[in-house]
Amino acid sequence: MREVRFKINGEEKVVTVESRTLLVHMIREQLSMTGTHIGCDTSSCGACTILIDGKSAKSCTLLAVQANGKEIITVEGLATAEGLHPIQEGFKENHGLHCGFCTPGMMLRAIELLEKNPDPTEEEIRWGISGNLCRCTGYNNIVKAIQYAGAKMRGAELPSTEPEFV
Amino acid sequence: MIKCKTSKEIGGMGHSIKRKEDARFIQGKGNYVDDVKLPGMLHMDIVRSPYAYAKIKSIDASKALEIPGVVAVVTGKDLEKYNLHWMPTLMSDTQMVLPTDTVMYQAQEVAAVIATDRYIARDGKEAVVVEYEPMTPVMDPYKSLEPDAPVLRPDKEGKTDNHIWHWEAGDKDATEKVFNAADVVVEQDMYIPRIHVASIETCGCVANYNKVDNHLTMYMTTQAPHAIRTVIALVAGHVGLTEEKVRVISPDIGGGFGGKVPVYPGYVIAIAVSFLTGVPIKWIEDRSENLQADSFARDYHIKVAMAGTKDGKIQATRFKVLADHGYTDASANPSKFPTGLFSIGTGSYDYNNAFMEADAVYTNKPPGGVAYRCSFRVTEAVHAIERITDVFATKVGKDPAQLRFENFIKKEDFPWKSPTGWEYDSGDYHAGLKKAMDVLDYDALRVEQAEKRKRGELMGIGISTFTEIVGAGPSKDFDILGIKMFDSAEIRVHPTGKAIARFGTKSQGQGHETTYAQIVAEELGIPAANIQIEEGDTDTAPYGLGTYASRSTPTAGAAAAMAARKLRDKARKIAAYLLEVSEEDLEWEPGKFSVKGAPEKSKTIQEIVFASYTNHPPGMEAGFEATHYYDPPNLTFPSGAYICVVDIDNETFEIKVRRFVAIDDCGNIINPMIVQGQVHGGLTQGIAPAMYEELIYDDQGNILNGTFMDYLVPTAVESPNWETGHTITPSPHHPIGAKGVGESPTVGAPPAIANAIVDALSVYGVEHMDIPITPYKVWKKLKEMGKI
Amino acid sequence: MIPEGFSYAVPNTLDDAFTLLKEFGEDAKILAGGHSLIPMMKLRFASPTHLVDINNIPGLSYIKEEGGYLKIGAMTREADLEESALIKKKYHIFMDATKLIADPQVRNFGTVGGNIAHGDAANDHPAVMMALGAEVEISSPSGKRTVSIDEFFFGFYTTAVQHGEILTEIRIPAIGERTGTAYHKLERKVGDYATAGVAVMVQTDASGVCTKAGIGLTNVNPLPLRAKRSEEALVGSRLTEEDIAKAAQFAAEDCNPTDDLRGSEEFKRDMVRVITKRMINKAISRI
C-alpha cells in the first residue's frame, strides 16, 4: 500500500492505495466522486477523462500512484459559486447530452481542447474529441456545445442554440 | 416553424425547452448503477468460458478461496440446489444462469466469485481453475439445420434438431402467382450481421436482499423495471421472493438501445447470492464481457425478391429469413411476434401481395435478439425492402427517387392496409422525399455525379424512404409473458399547483423528464418547469412495460395526455362551481377556464387545484390526481426520407459520407430540440452498422473483435454532420398525434448509406454489398469481379 | 479489467532507476507513458512484478536541433511533438503521424521513446524513424550507446534495449535543404492501428534528382520494415511517375503482411503500394 498526495478540485487529499489501483477507481471508490465514469477496458471510450495538471487524461490508464503531487480536476470541480462552467452551459443549452454517461469525460476533454485552441473549427473539434465515444447524440450537438463554450470563454457572441430542424 | 398552443412560460408541445435532467448530468451528479454503494456490499466477478462449446469436467475454486477477501465461488451446481440454474427467456425458451455440465458459447458465465472488493474478485476469477472438454461448435446457421449437425439443446425434451420455430406472414399462393406472371423479378441474398448496442455504460446491478424483512431491492440497468420485477417473482417466487417482496430500481441509465431489456445471468446470480447471504452484491460488467456475452442484435440471413412491371410498378415482394439466435432464443419481442415486427418489410409502397417466412436456429453463439435502437426487427426488414427497391430500380432503368415517387402509398390512401396485415395510420411519403431532395438539390447532384464518372471518380447517392412501426402495442395482439403492452401515467397535482407525474417507462437518455412534463403542461397549462417526472422505481411508479421500441411517446406519452384530460374534466367541474356557471358555459385556454362571453370571469388551473384541496364542490372527491393506463388502438407508423451522398477513394476505397439529409415524420412534435437530438444519435447508430460494426466469430466460435479496439463504434470523426428536418403528419388515433422517433434514423440510415455506396460502385457493375461496407470489402468485391 | 499486483518505484534520477532495475531483475518493467503497458496489464497480458516509473526523472523530455541532429528526449509526449513549433515548421512527417496515433488523451501521456521501445510493428514511430534514418540512444550504468533504428528491433516486443537499460534519446539527422517528408496510414477508424502505414523522406539536388530517400512501413511486417528496394529505386531518379510507381510496387512486394480483421495480405500489399505512391508525392510536394 502506498500513500498518494494530490489536489483534486482544489482540495488537498491523502489517500492510501495499492500500487495497482487505477486512478479512476481511486476517484470513484475511495473519494466517492462518481461523476467520472468507466465505459471500456481498453482506453478507447474516454468516459473516464479527467484533467491532470491541465492535461486531459484517461484515468483508467493511469495508476493512482501516478497522481502523486498532481492537480486533478473532475466534473465535480467545474461549477463554481458563480455558476456553471461555460462547457457545462454549452452542453445544456445545445442538447449536447442524452444519457449523460459520456458527458463528464467529453466536457473535460473539451476544456483542454479549448484552452489550446479557443476558436476551433468543426473539423478540429471532431478530431479533438476522437478519444471520447458517445453512443446517443451523434456528436452534432456536442460540436455545437463546444463551439458555444469556446465563444463564451473568449467573450465572443454566443451562437444560436435553436435546433436547425428545417 | 412548429406551431405551439401554449406560451413559452407554460412550455407545452412544440417548445424546444432545455432538458430538466441535464443539471445533474453536467455536474457529475447522475446516479448510475455503479455509483450505488451500500454498507457491507460485496463485489461479484464472473468466470467465463474460453470455449464456444465444451463439457465442464471440473471447477476447482480452492486457489481462489485461499485469496484473502474472496468470500465465495458460486457454480451451477450450487444454484441447482435451489432450482435457480435455469431461467426462462422472454420468448419462452430457457437459458442457463450458470451451467452444470456444458457451456454453449464463448464468454458464457461459468462461475461467480464473490469478494470484498472488485480487485480481489478479479484475482479470484483468475484463480478459479476450470477443466473443459472442448467440442466442435456449430457456428453456421445453415449447417446447424443439416441432418448431421449435433443437437445443441438436448435439454429440451424431444428435441432432435436445431430448428427453433417457423413463422409466416402474407399470402403465399397469391404472391407466387404475381411473381410467376411479372415482367421483372429481382432477387438478392443479404446478410444483416450480428451487432451489439454497446451503450457506453455496460450492464450491472446491486442486489440487496434483506433477510429480516424478506425483501429484495434490486438496483439494475433495466429499461423495463416493472416487467423485471414480475420476471424475478416468476423465477424466484418458489424460494419466497414473491412480487410484493421485490422492488426494482432503475437509476440513471447510461444508454440502453434494447441491450438493457433482457435479464442476464449476472443479475440472477447476484440476486441468488444476496438472497443466500443477506449481503448486498454488486456486479458490473467489463466492456469486453458486455460485447462478448450480452444480447446481440440482428444476425438475419435474408433472401428478398421483388416482382414488378417493366416500367417500374412494384407488384409483390417475398422474404425468406434464417435467424441465428445463438444457443437460446432470448429475443426481446412481444410474445406473439417471434420475428418482431419484421412484417413491416413491405415498405412504403402501394402493392397488394407479399409473402414472408422465417426460420430460427440454434448455434453456439451468445443468445439474444435485441433491438439496437430498433423496434423489433424493423431495421432488418427496412434494409431488405429499401435495398431491393434500388436493385429493382436499376433493373428497370429508373432513377431510384422517381421509382419511389411512382410507387408510394398516397397520402389520401391512409389508413392503408398492408399485404401483411398492418394498418398504417398516416403518412405523406411524397412530401418527405421531395423535401429531402430539395434540401440537397438532388438533380444537381446527379449532374455532378455524371461529370465525376467521366473523370473516373466514385460518387454515389442513396435514398431510403422507410416506414417504421412503433408503439407496441394494442393489447389484442401485444404482450410480454402474458402482460399486455399498455403503459401508464399517474399525475398528482399538489395544492399549490405544482405536480409530480410518474410513469411505467424508463428513460435512458431520451429526455422523458422534459417531454412528459411538456405533454402535461400542454393539457393542463401548468408550466412544464413545475412538473416533476419520476420513473424507474417499481414501488412508486404505476405498472408499465418500459422504454424500448420507440414506445414511450406512443404509449406512456398518450397515458400522460389522457390522465391530464381526466384532470381537466375535473377542473372544469370545479371551475363551474367556483364561477357559479354551468360547465357548458366555460371555455378552456391553456392554464385557465373562463366564462364564455365574459373573459374577465375566469379561474386559473392553480386556483382550481387549490380549491380541490380547500373548497371542492360537495359530493366531489377531494384532491387532484389521476392515473391512466393507455392501451393503444393501433401502432403508430413514423416515416422518413433519407438521402446520403458518398465519395469513395478510387484506390483505397475509403468511403466518405459527404452529406446526409434526414427528413423525419414522427407526427406532432413534443420538443423539436429533443426530436432532432434523437435523430442525430440514431443516424450515428445507422452509419455504425452500415460501415463499421459487426461481431465476428471464427469457426471455432472465438469472437475476433470483442473489445472497443476492434468493435468499431464511430467517433465524431467517422460521424458526419447530419442535416435534419421534418414533415408533420399527425397520428389520427394518438391523443396528441405523436408517433415516436428514437429509432427511425437507425432503421432508415443503413439502406441509404448502402444504396449510396452501391450507386457509386455501380460503374463497376456492383449490384449489392452486405453491410458493414468497409474499404477492404469494396476492394475485395472489385478484385473478385476482376475490376481492379 | 484490473492488473495483477506489483511493486511500484518512482526514482528521481537515471542512476536510481538503473539501481532499481538491477535490483528487481527480469521481472521489472519500465513505466514511461504507460499507455501501451497499463492496458496490457489490465488485460493481464503483461504482469510485471515490479514497475519502475521514470516519469519523475528530469531531463528526458525535449525537442531540439543540435549538432546536425533533431534530438527528441525519450519521455517527450506525443502531444509535445504535435505542438512543437520546430516540428510544425520542419518535420511535417511528425505532424502527419502524431495526429493518427490513438487519440488526444493518449497522446498527452504516450511518449515517443515508449512508442519505439515497445517494439511493436503496429506503432507508427518506428516507420517514421526508419524513413528519417534515426539513431536511438540507450543508457545504462556503464554509459550510453547508440543504435541505428535499423538494428533496433529484434522481434515482437523485443528491441536492442537490454534489461537494465533505458532508451533516453532519439536522434534524427536534421532535415536539410530540398527535403520533404510525409506519413499516412490507412485505419479502420480514427485512432486505430494501421491497416498499412508508410513513412517517406526524399531529398533532391538542385536539378531535381533524388539524392536520398527513406521509406518505412507500419504494421505490414513482423518487424518495422525499411523498404530498401523502394529507396534504391528513387535515389538517382528524377522522381517521375514511373520511378514512383516502381518504388511503390517494390514496397508492396517486400513487406510481409498477414491476414487479419483489417484485411487480407493481398489487400494490405495493394494499400502499401497506393500509400507509398501517395506519400512519395506528398513528400515531394513539401520539398
The domain locations on chain B are 22-30+487-630, 39-135+203-284, 296-472+634-784
**B-chain residues within 8 Å CB-CB of A135?**
197-200, 255, 257, 681, 684-685, 713
Q: What is the pLDDT of residue B237?
A: 87
Three-class DSSP category at C104 = helix
Helices (H), A97-162: 103-116, 122-128, 140-153
Which partners does chain B have (≥3 C-beta pairs < 8 Å)?
A: A, C
Alpha carbons within 13 angstroms on the beta-carbon side of residue C165 total 21
> Does the beta-carbon distance from B776 to C266 stay under 8 Å?
no
**Hey, which bits of C192-282 come out as E strands?**
196-204, 210-218, 225-226
Question: Would you say B138 and B700 are in contact if contact means Cβ atoms under 8 Å apart?
Answer: no
Beta carbon pairs, A and B, within 8 Å: 205
On whether the CB atoms of residues B357 and B320 are closer than 8 A, the answer is yes
* Cα B626 to Cα B492: distance, rounded to the nearest angstrom: 7
Query: CA B739 → CA A166, B418, B721, distances in Å?
Result: 19, 18, 25
CATH number of the domain that C150 lies in? 3.30.465.10
Q: Tell me whether domains B22-30+487-630 and B296-472+634-784 share a fold.
A: yes
Instruction: State pLDDT tens for residues B169-182.
Output: 999 999 999 999 99
Instruction: Specify whether C115 is located in the same domain as C198.
Output: no
Helix (H) or strand (E) holding B536: none
Tens-place pLDDT, residues A44-64: 999 999 999 999 999 999 999
* Higher per-residue confidence, B129 vs B370: B129
Task: Provide DSSP, B215-246.
Answer: EEEEEE--S-HHHHHHHHHHHHGGGT--GGGE
Cβ atoms of B576 and B588 within 8 Å: the answer is no
Residue C58 lies in a domain: no
The topology (CATH level 3) of B22-30+487-630 is Aldehyde Oxidoreductase; domain 4 (3.30.365)
Of B198, C191, B532, which Cα lies nearest the Cα of A102? B198
d(CA B523, CA A42): 48
Distances (CA, A) of C43 to B50, B257, B286, C1: 15, 27, 11, 6
Please name which of C170, C268, C282 lies closest in space to residue C217, comparing C-alpha atoms. Answer: C268
Q: Minimal Cα distance from B284: which residue of A?
A: A38
Q: Is C35 on the interface with A (CB under 8 A)?
A: yes
Residues 6 or more apart whose Cβ sits within 8 Å of residue B684: A135, A137, A138, A139, B714, B719, B722
The pLDDT of residue B216 is above 80: yes
Q: What is the pLDDT of residues B284-339, one digit of tens each?
A: 999 999 999 999 999 999 999 999 999 999 999 999 999 999 999 999 999 999 99
Show the cell assigned to B104: 454453449
- The rounded distance, in Å, linking the Cα atoms of B103 and B120 is 25
* Cell representation of residue B769: 454489398
Q: Name the grid cell of C268.
A: 494490405
Instruction: Considering only the beta carbons, identify the residue of A43, A112, A128 that sits closest to C106.
Output: A43
The one-letter code for the residue type at A71 is E
Query: In 3D, which of B366, B199, B355, B385 has the Cα closest to residue B299?
Result: B366
Decide: B20 and B87 in contact? Cβ < 8 Å: no
Which residues of chain C have a pLDDT value below 50? Answer: none
User: How big is the B-C interface in CB pairs under 8 Å?
Assistant: 46
Question: How many domains is chain C partitioned into structurally?
Answer: 3
- Interchain contact, C261 vs B123, CB within 8 Å: no
CA-based torsion, B16, B20, B26, B30: positive or negative: negative
Assigned domain for C267 exists: yes
- What are the residue ranges spanned by the domains of chain A? 2-77, 86-153
C232 shares its domain with C272: yes
**What's the pLDDT tens digit per position in A110-128?**
999 999 999 999 999 999 9
- Grid coordinates belonging to C32: 514511461
The CATH T-level fold of domain B296-472+634-784 is: Aldehyde Oxidoreductase; domain 4 (3.30.365)
Chain B residue nearest residue C1, CA to CA: B286
Using the 3D structure, point to which of C123, C138, C173 is the last residue of a domain.
C173
- Determine the Cα–Cα distance for residues B414 and B662; give it in Å rounded to an integer: 23
Contact status, residue C31 vs residue C140, Cβ threshold 8 Å: no
Contact B26 A92 (CB under 8 A): yes
Indicate if the pLDDT at residue B1 is higher than 80. no
- Residues of chain B in contact with residue A81, where contact means CB-CB under 8 angstroms, are none
Topology (CATH level 3) of domain A2-77: Ubiquitin-like (UB roll) (3.10.20)
pLDDT tens, per residue, chain A with 166 residues: 999 999 999 999 999 999 999 999 999 999 999 999 999 999 999 999 999 999 999 999 999 999 999 999 999 999 999 999 999 999 999 999 999 999 999 999 999 999 999 999 999 999 999 999 999 999 999 999 999 999 999 999 999 999 988 8
Percent of chain B with pLDDT over 70: 100
Q: Which tens digits make up the pLDDT trace of B262-276?
A: 999 999 999 999 999
Cα distance from C154 to chain A (closest Cα, Å)?
26
Tell me which chain B residues have a C-beta less than 8 angstroms from the C-beta of A92.
18-19, 22-23, 26
Task: Report the alpha-carbon distance of residue B517 to residue B501 in Å, rounded.
Answer: 8
pLDDT at B394: 98
- Final residue in a domain of this structure, among C147, C173, C199: C173
Q: How far apart are CA C194 and CA C186, in angstroms?
A: 6
Preceding amide of B689 cis, omega within 30: no
Mean pLDDT of B224-240: 90
pLDDT at B583 over 90: yes
Homologous superfamily, domain A86-153:
[2Fe-2S]-binding domain (1.10.150.120)
CA B73 to chain C, closest CA, distance in angstroms equals: 19
- pLDDT, average across residues B664-689: 98
Instruction: Enumerate residues 6+ apart whose C-beta is below 8 A from B713.
Output: A45, A133, A135, B198, B688, B692, B693
> Can you count the helices (H) and strands (E) in chain C?
11, 14
* Closest Cα in chain B, distance from residue A11 (Å): 17
Give the CATH number of the domain where residue C263 resides: 3.30.390.50
* Chain B partners within 8 Å of C267 (Cβ): 776, 779-780
User: Residue C123 sits in which domain range?
Assistant: 63-173
Indicate yes or no: CB of B680 within 8 angstroms of CB of A139.
yes
C14 with C67, same domain?
no
Q: Which among C173, C208, C227 is the end of a domain?
A: C173
The C-alpha cell at C174 is 536534421
* Whether the predicted pLDDT of B737 surpasses 80: yes
User: Considering the domain boundaries, does residue C1 fall inside one?
Assistant: no
pLDDT of residue B365: 98
As a whole number of angstroms, the distance between CA C76 and CA B173 comes to: 73
Q: Is the pLDDT of residue B238 over 90?
A: no
Confidence of residue B549 (pLDDT cuts 50, 70, 90): confident
**Topology (CATH) of B39-135+203-284:** Aldehyde Oxidoreductase; domain 3 (3.90.1170)
B31's grid cell: 446516479
Task: Note whether C59 and C140 are within 8 A (CB).
Answer: no
Find the helix or strand (DSSP H, E) in which C84 lies.
none
Residue C118 in any domain: the answer is yes
Q: Provide mean pLDDT across the span B597-617.
A: 97
What stretches of B184-337 adopt beta strand conformation (E)?
Answer: 184-192, 204-210, 215-220, 246-249, 281-284, 296-297, 300-308, 314-324
What span, in angstroms and rounded, lies between the C-alpha atoms of B638 and B747? 11
CA of A156 to nearest chain B CA: how many angstroms apart?
22
**Chain C neighbours, 3+ Cβ pairs < 8 A:** A, B
Q: Please list, in sequence order, all residues whose beta carbon lies within 8 angstroms of the beta carbon of residue B132, skipping any fewer than 6 positions away.
A: B49, B50, B51, B54, B55, B56, B57, B103
Nearest CB to A57 within list C31, C99, C109 = C109
